[in-house]
Amino acid sequence: MRQPFVGLVLAAIIGIVVADYFPASTVSIFLIVIAGALAAWRWRFAPLVFAVVGATFFVLHSARITNTPADALAQIAGQQPRPANVTGIVTTEPKIEANGYATFLLKLRGAKIENQDVRTDATVFVRWRGRPNIGDELALFGTFQPIEAPRNPGEFDMRVYLARRDVKSLFIVRYPENGRILAPGSGFSVLRAATHSREWMQRILSRDIENSPDVVGLICGTALGLRHQTRDDIEEPFQQTGTLHLFAVAGLHVGIVARLLWTVAMVLRLPRKTATALIIPLLFFYAAITGLHTASVRAAVMSALLLGGIFFDRKVLALNSLAAAAFLILLFDSNQLFTSGFQLSFAVVGTIVLLADPMFVRLARIVAPDPFIPRVLLSRVQRIGIGVGRNLARGVSVSLAAWIGSLPLIYWYFYLVTPVSLVANLAVVPIAYFVLALAMLSLIAAPIWSGLSIIFNNANWLMSHAVLGLVHFFALLPAGHFYLSRFTESHTPIMITVLDEGTGGAAHVRANGYDWLIDCGGERNYERTLKSFLHRRGVNRLQGILLTHGDAHHIGAALETIADFRPREIYDNPLDARSSAQRRFRDAPGKPEPRLLFRGDSLLLGRNVHAEILYPPPNIKIRSADDAPLIARLVINEQIRVLFESDAGAEAEVSLLRSGDDLKSDILIKGQHHSGDSGTPEFLDGVKPRLIIATSRESPVAEQITEEWSSEIERRAIKLLRQDLTGAVEIQFRGEDWTARSYLTGEAFRSSKR
Amino acid sequence: MQIDRTLEPLRAVTSLFYPALCAVCHAPVTRGDYVCQDCLGKAQRIVAPFCAKCSEPFPGAIEGEFTCSNCAHRSLAFDAAVAAYRSRGVVRFVILQFKYSRQLHLRHPVAEWLLEAMNDDRLRDRNFDCVVPVPLHPARFRERGFNQAELLAKILGQRMNLTLSRPLERTRYTTTQTAFDRNDRMENLRGAFRLRKRIGVRGLRVLLVDDILTTGSTLSECARVLREAGAQSVFAVTAARA
Ligand SMILES: [Zn+2]
Ligand SMILES: [Zn+2]
């Protein structure tokens, strides 16, 4: 056993994965494990040790995921919203949403659900418009709700994410006054102290540069890991250039801090063992300040083991230490294995440990000659050249190794491939080191002389601008990064995805290699829904976009979509609806001028996919945007017809029927007219669809599919997929056949009768 | 014994975090060892005949004490410089790892080689008043973080029950030695060391310690400074010799 923890952690991972699929935690298994442990101790038989470790983690993980407090609570709270009074302690840093809600995890102490006392210590996910701090004890009145699964492909799966932290209920407090803080900071004294020092540090670091929020975000993100306060759009270019790790306080930071502390200790001439004993707790405190992310805990454990080597006078094996860190983290919380943070952190460091040195040796041979040539034989310039060359080789090999390690995971989780990150890291990481160092200097100087601290802050302002500038530059490089759909996804050349945008609409049409959008949903959903979806589909650039009408829930995100996906063609409804969404879009400067479409126009979306515009005719008068949306019909493989009715109402339907066009279509995709009056019997007679995909929402009333209407559809033997139940619907076309599939339920409807 | 037994599980856990492996071949070794017996067996011992002054071995058969031609040509200030091993193969590898790769724990096997040299006839029955490490220039010390000679001298002092003394300091950051021939090296080093104020060596029998003896110039220059300060005798001991 040269690197004992490598084998141990592999055994642990196998145990956890098996337990995740087949959880079983009976007393007998537990007893077998104990017997095995005793036998392993007695006879020291290595395979038995691994078996015992694997079985131990199997039992641990089984116990962790079965019959948990959250399961018990979800059982009581049920699937319907139920009002309740609860008390509990805030266990995570509250994150403030744009709409003023604070979201955080609350470990319950007690609950009263519909006047019935419930004993529980489950943790719930809370949304409340109050301003609590971590460690506060709260009393709240609100409603329990189950956590919803994502309704569209590509959306972040909050349910799975929270389930890994054993959180299975959402608790919504509607009014700010329905909650109060009973006792500030009654739990978690260390975390509380960490939060306090972090708040102080944040004040110091943003002094005199408050009016550059991007810079403050970068500095605080880099030095303190305050990610929950930075806007997502600041982080995006970092993600696209593979440098997001700078923002997420991670291994690199803890490593740098450890080195800085070590240097300080050496300057102060502290004995090595004393220095070690001081630095290790400081590193863990730093990990706590920065929010105890897996990566920083991993780095703190590894640094502690590195320093511990001095205590025990032994060589420190990097791979063994890495495995030991993984082992300890999994022992503490086996669910970590399934988080992207854990996987990324260990994959990246693992490949650095395994690959960086061999690559460095090869690179160094190229850029710098044999280091054993006496240095005096070289001129000063040569020596500097060699020094630079070797450092460059070191940087390139670490960067390359990290890239190789992160590539598969970044691709799997974010559908993103970032060749540019190799260069970006080389350029940005050294400057980021200075940002961190200047932040430290500013913090050290602050209690002594605040003027000096402000000088450091201003120097940091400059450094941060360099980092931001570089990162934006690298993010803009063509082919520097691109999105790629998962290889496991179906790659049907022609498919339509009707997204669930609530009362709004957005549909993606893939036409033999060309990507089109028909509407793009609301502005507020854009990042979460449409953008994530297009990234998941591997869309880097749209061929075109059709904007059907001036409804904020249909075209609200048009500007964002155009900025991110640069469609080559933009088509708009010719009518002036005088809606604010349309005005915002039409008045925006610097965008390509959209072309207007009328009845009779025809577009080629891609080979075998045409769009015919059926509505509006020129010169009609309208009262509201819904009255005259662009109505387009796709003709696929020359025989399948898909009618996009958008939010058209009875008036538009009548006008379509009068026009004398053959409206017959296989699939009808419709929204709801604001009057609630659409999909009239006459219209259905004309269209004769086999499948209707329709939006539906409880409120407002007009947006909900009525009982009569749905029974009418049933009477006509038309298949109805209502999106309040199905979420997004994906239709794949093959020859004359097509299949529609609900994203939420997996229910499929096939055109062929086979 | 009792304490040892209770500590046993703790040691087992420690060796999971820090498995005991041979520094050369990475084979598992008994706890507390740093180089395996196989690798230790490959270390090349210096056997007679060798120069009485600088321990340079001589291929051939010479009976009795002799001084090599190098030592005859120049005046070395120490009485004798003793090493038990050649700085080759395993020995050289371990010492370089210790010195240049921050593998500080390897001071223990290196010190063992050093201690073997203390069994040499020239040192065995001799008494010393203090051990003195060859100093490192402060700049080099900052770069490296430690002085390998001092770490070795500390262990030697503990084992031989001698006080550690640091009367010397290095004043010049001389470039690495290997490129010069012997005389150049002596010139290059002249004035590189000096005595620290307030630390006297008058009348003392000094044992000078370094990791490797290459030509003896460094040790000789140190010995010269110590002699001029009144040291009664200066013997030098190193873990290995080129
Ligand atoms: Zn060995
Ligand atoms: Zn000689």
In the predicted model, is pLDDT for residue B1 greater than 50? no
In the predicted model, is pLDDT for residue B191 greater than 90? no
CA distance A692 to A686: 14
CA distance A642 to A635: 7
CA distance A99 to A386: 55
Query: Measured between beta carbons, which residues in chain B are less than 8 angstroms from residue A314?
Result: 18, 20, 105
Q: Chain A contact for B138, CB < 8 A?
A: no
pLDDT at A517: 94
Q: Do residues A305 and A312 lie in contact, with contact meaning Cβ atoms separated by under 8 Å?
A: no
Neighbours of A156 (CB within 10 A): 12
Report the pLDDT averaged over residues A486-503: 88
Give tens-digit pLDDT for A696-750. Answer: 887 777 778 888 888 989 999 999 999 989 999 999 999 889 999 999 999 999 9
Percent of chain A clearing pLDDT 90 (strictly above): 22
Look at the block and give the residue holding tokens 């669809």. A689
Give tens-digit pLDDT for A316-343. Answer: 888 999 999 999 999 988 998 998 888 8
Q: Do residues A443 and A378 lie in contact, with contact meaning Cβ atoms separated by under 8 Å?
A: no
Radius of gyration of chain A (CA): 30
Mutate one of B8, B18, B180 to test the A interface: name it (highest A CB count within 10 A).
B18
The residue among A125 and A196 whose pLDDT is bigger is A125
In the predicted model, is pLDDT for residue B205 greater than 90? yes
pLDDT at A73: 87
The torsion angles phi and psi of A30, rounded to 5 degrees, stand at -60, -45
Q: Is A317's CB within 8 Å of B16's CB?
A: no
> What is the number of the ligand closest to the CA of B46?
2
Coil/strand/helix, residue B80: strand
Question: What structural domains does chain B harbor?
Answer: 1-42 (no CATH), 44-241 (3.40.50.2020)
Give tens-digit pLDDT for B54-64. Answer: 888 887 777 77
The residue among A388 and A158 whose pLDDT is bigger is A158
Give tens-digit pLDDT for B44-89. Answer: 998 888 888 888 888 777 777 778 877 887 788 899 999 989 988 8
Exposed, middle or buried, A385 (CB in 10 Å: 0-12/13-18/19+)?
middle
pLDDT band at B197 (very low <50, low <70, confident <90, very high): confident
Closest by Cβ to A314, choosing from B28, B105, B178:
B105
CA distance A3 to A9: 11
The torsion angles phi and psi of A449, rounded to 5 degrees, stand at -150, 105
The ranges of chain A annotated as CATH 3.60.15.10 are 494-750
pLDDT at A331: 92
Q: Which two tokens stand for residue A277?
A: 């004993």
**Arithmetic mean of pLDDT over chain A:** 84
Residues 6+ apart with CB under 8 A from A440: A223, A257, A260
- Closest Cα of chain B to A414: distance in Å? 35
The torsion angles phi and psi of A93, rounded to 5 degrees, stand at -60, 115
Closest by Cβ to B16, choosing from A5, A309, A377:
A5
pLDDT at A624: 65
In the predicted model, is pLDDT for residue B175 greater than 60? no
In the predicted model, is pLDDT for residue A361 greater than 60? yes
The ranges of chain A annotated as CATH 2.40.50 are 69-187
Give tens-digit pLDDT for A214-260. Answer: 788 778 777 776 655 555 566 677 777 777 766 654 666 777 778 77
In the predicted model, is pLDDT for residue B181 greater than 70? no
Query: Measured between beta carbons, which residues in chain B are less than 8 angstroms from residue A4?
Result: 15-16, 19
Closest CA to A574 of A591, A590, A550: A550
Closest CA to A635 of A624, A645, A627, A644: A644
Pairing of strands A167-172, A137-146: antiparallel
pLDDT at A218: 79
- The secondary structure element, H or E, covering residue A658 is helix A650-658
Q: Do residues A352 and A395 lie in contact, with contact meaning Cβ atoms separated by under 8 Å?
A: no
Region of poorest pLDDT, from A34-48, A128-142, A632-646, B143-157: A34-48
Q: Which two tokens stand for residue A258?
A: 């450890």
pLDDT at A228: 52
The torsion angles phi and psi of A280, rounded to 5 degrees, stand at -60, -50
Distance A576 CA to ligand 2 centre (A): 103
Distance B58 CA to ligand 2 centre (A): 10
In CATH, A494-750 is 3.60.15.10: yes
Q: Do residues A138 and A181 lie in contact, with contact meaning Cβ atoms separated by under 8 Å?
A: yes
Q: Which two tokens stand for residue A126?
A: 């809370």
Residues 6+ apart with CB under 8 A from A295: A245, A248, A249, A250, A251, A341, A344, A345
Closest CA to A406 of A238, A242, A222: A242
pLDDT at B5: 64
Direct distance between the N- and C-terminal alpha carbons of chain B, in angstroms, rounded to an integer: 43
CA distance B7 to B14: 10
Q: Is A374's CB within 8 Å of B178's CB?
A: yes
In the predicted model, is pLDDT for residue B139 greater than 90? no
CATH architecture of A69-187: Beta Barrel (2.40)
pLDDT at B3: 54
- Closest Cα of chain A to B35: distance in Å? 12
Report the pLDDT averaged over residues A655-679: 84
Q: Which two tokens stand for residue A293?
A: 């992310």
ipTM, interface predicted TM-score of the complex: 0.80
Distance B54 CA to ligand 2 centre (A): 4
- Closest Cα of chain B to A328: distance in Å? 11
Distance A267 CA to ligand 2 centre (A): 41
In the predicted model, is pLDDT for residue A39 greater than 90? no
What angle (nearest 5°) sits at the alpha carbon of residue B192, between those of residues B190 and B195?
110
CA distance B144 to B138: 10
Report the pLDDT averaged over residues A1-6: 83
Closest by Cβ to A374, choosing from B16, B26, B179:
B179
CA distance A45 to B8: 18
Q: Is B28's CB within 8 Å of A3's CB?
A: no
Give tens-digit pLDDT for A207-222. Answer: 887 777 778 877 877 7
pLDDT at A368: 60
Report the pLDDT averaged over residues A28-37: 74
